[in-house]
Amino acid sequence: MRRASSVLLYRTLAAARDGSATSIALPNRFLQSTFYGTTAGSSPSRRRLFSSAIAVAAGTSLGVTGALFAASSLSQEVLAKEPPPSDALPNEVVLYQYEACPFCNKVKAFLDYYDIPYKVVEVNPLSKKEIKWSEYKKVPIIMIDGEQLNDSSAIIDKLGEKILSKKKADSTSEDEVDEETKWRRWVDNHLVHVLSPNIYRNTSEALESFDYITSNGNFSYMEKISVKYAGAAAMYFVSKKLKKKYNITDERAALYEAAETWVDALNGREFLGGSKPNFADLAVFGVLRPIRYLRSGKDMVDHTRIGEWYTRMESVVGEPSRIKA
């Protein structure tokens, strides 16, 4: 079955690509990048989610905008973004991303929270023509006043140094830094791997996810149609493989357990960072934001204690600081 789906995906993508013959690497690369991407072998792919768009993708009629509005009016008085001093702000930030990539979404949560204006270039995961100029072929890639930075954690570290190193160094103890580092690693090494098996868990969830991916990603009209169905079918099978790779038997149980683990880590605090989110809060929020209003994200909030923290994060991160490219 897996073989059949790969062939189907390969053929569909090849056809979508101007009808030309494509490299055999194409399906692999695509599978590696669709929804929550990772490296060679097997991988997650990308997807991001941002409030109202995700509501459309998830087919909800209530809309996330409404939920966000309610959340922000509830906690407006207590919570606020942390914009850096204007002289610390870079002049131009350009993020090369896949809309749904969890690593890209980590970076966006950081930029949104610190109110750093950024332009987005949506990369086509099939051709990657938007990053042809770069030797590094994954996303996110960020250009900060002409300087290229790769890798979500490195980007966040470097940006953090640029805009708030002094403030952070003055106010953060060694234990707090260790705790923050530990949980940032947990996001990269554990949390992201739980996502794919959940969002592609069955055919309807895989289609829901690909509906979002194709609606928000950079695909031609023909690619959109073919990728939605072939991608959903293929990722359904890939997610089974990922479950094995990461020793996940019940994907929902693993998601709930991860959410509970995070709430335990908070240990009664509003945020891991105390009264304000730290980089670990932003990382967890960033990778969960794309799934929050999908079936899996709704289940997670309904079945665990993570909802209150998530709502606080939605409120404090607020509107995206993204600007038109």
Q: Sign (positive/negative) of CA torsion 225, 226, 228, 233?
A: positive
Rounded Cα gap, residues 121 and 325, in angstroms:
7
Q: Which is nearer to ligand GSH, 151 or 205 (CB)?
A: 151
Piece of the chain touching ligand GSH by CB under 6 A; list 58-66, 73-81, 151-159, 231-239 = 151-159
Residue-wise over 111-127: b if at least 16 C-beta within 10 A, else e?
bbbbbbebebebbbbbb
**Known catalytic residue at 104:** yes
Q: Per CB under 6 A, does 33 bind ligand GSH?
A: yes
| The one-letter amino acid at 272 | L
Contact segment (CB under 6 A) with ligand GSH among 10-18, 19-27, 33-41, 280-288 equals 33-41
List 9, 93, 139, 143, residue binding ligand GSH (CB under 6 A): 139
Instruction: Find, among 301, 132, 124, 129, the residue nearest to 222 by Cα.
Output: 124
Q: Is 113 a catalytic residue?
A: no
Report DSSP state, residue 62.
S
- Which listed residue (37, 90, 217, 277) binds ligand GSH by CB under 6 A? 37
Closer to ligand GSH by CB, 101 or 199: give it.
101
Q: Which of residues 119-138 bind ligand GSH (CB under 6 A)?
A: 125, 138
- Residue 304 contacts ligand GSH per CB under 6 A: no
Q: Which stretch binds ligand GSH (CB under 6 A): 32-40, 171-179, 195-203, 209-217?
A: 32-40
Cα–Cα dist 152/148, whole Å: 12
State which residue has the least CB distance to ligand GSH.
Answer: 37
Cβ proximity to ligand GSH: between 183 and 256 the closer is 183
Neighbours of 262 (CB within 10 A): 23
β 322-323/118-122 pair status: parallel
CB of residue 199 vs ligand GSH: minimum separation in angstroms?
13
CB 82 within 8 A of CB 108: no
Which residues of the shown chain bind ligand GSH in the complex (CB under 6 A)? 29, 32-33, 36-39, 45-46, 98, 101, 103, 125, 138-140, 151-153
